[in-house]
Amino acid sequence: MANRLDPAARREQILAATLRLVARDGFARVTLRDVAAEVGVVHGLIRHYFATREQLVAAAFDAAVLAELEGDEEVAERVEPVEALADWLTSTPREHYFVWIDAWSEAPRNPELHASLMRHHRDCERRLARIIERLDEAGLGRSDDPAGDARMLTALVDGMAVQHHAIGLVTRAEADHVVYTAAEGRLGLAPGTLERSRPTAVRGQWAVSDSA
């Protein structure tokens, strides 16, 4: 049996355990009993914090994405805009996209997860639009519609990520090349600008430590 924890620490422990199971088994296969076993508590304790499995997995997704977005806000507002754009568009680690891909698949059957996914998707688009605004303001690129450009590039990044991570149709380098080329053409950047600025992707690290 797990040690006695205060409610906030126990809730974080439950969410961390849920994310470990989601990363391993996917949203659809995670049950409250699985999470209880992972934490080392009785099944009823999980229901004390989350009445349904749907609420639990949505809360876990929320927690993980919010942790990511803290770093994303720093990139969107403070990193030099060309470097920030390259960072944003570079393929993220496999674990990151597997969770997002699985969330997209589960969302039609889970209203709580659907709402969370929609909210975070719009947040990501907003942050990318801010990077594009800064690029335009600095005279390093051009955009008459940062929100529209962000929407298009987000869709392209997501589509290439599915092709790369889910089915292996393209390599990471090929996925990045397609996205970089499209972004450079749309935003008036010289060809090769983003490749030269290409960082080592660190966004989307879904490793969650147990706080027990």
Determine contact, residues 72/126, Cβ cutoff 8 Å: no
Determine contact, residues 193/174, Cβ cutoff 8 Å: no
Residue 9 lies in a domain: no
pLDDT for residue 27: 83
Query: Whats the size of the chain, residue-wise?
Result: 212
On the question of pLDDT at 127 being above 60, the answer is yes
| Cα 202 from chain centre | 11
* Structure-token pair, residue 180: 């970089």
Range of the domain at 177: 61-197
Residue 191 lies in a domain: yes
CATH number at residue 192: 1.10.357
Residue 40 lies in a domain: no
Stretch 137-151: mean pLDDT = 97
**Is the model's pTM score more than 0.75?**
yes
CB atoms under 10 Å from CB of 90, counted, come to 22
- Rounded Cα–Cα distance for residues 138 and 84 (Å): 13
Determine contact, residues 127/203, Cβ cutoff 8 Å: no
Number of domains present in the structure of the chain = 1
Handedness of CA 160, 164, 165, 167 (dihedral sign): positive
Residue 206 lies in a domain: no
**What confidence tens digit (pLDDT) does each residue in 54-72 have?**
899 889 888 877 777 666 6
Residue 29 lies in a domain: no
- Rounded Cα–Cα distance for residues 13 and 139 (Å): 46
Percentage above 90 pLDDT, the chain: 50
Mean pLDDT of the chain: 85
**What confidence tens digit (pLDDT) does each residue in 85-108 have?**
998 899 887 777 777 888 888 889
Stretch 162-172: mean pLDDT = 92
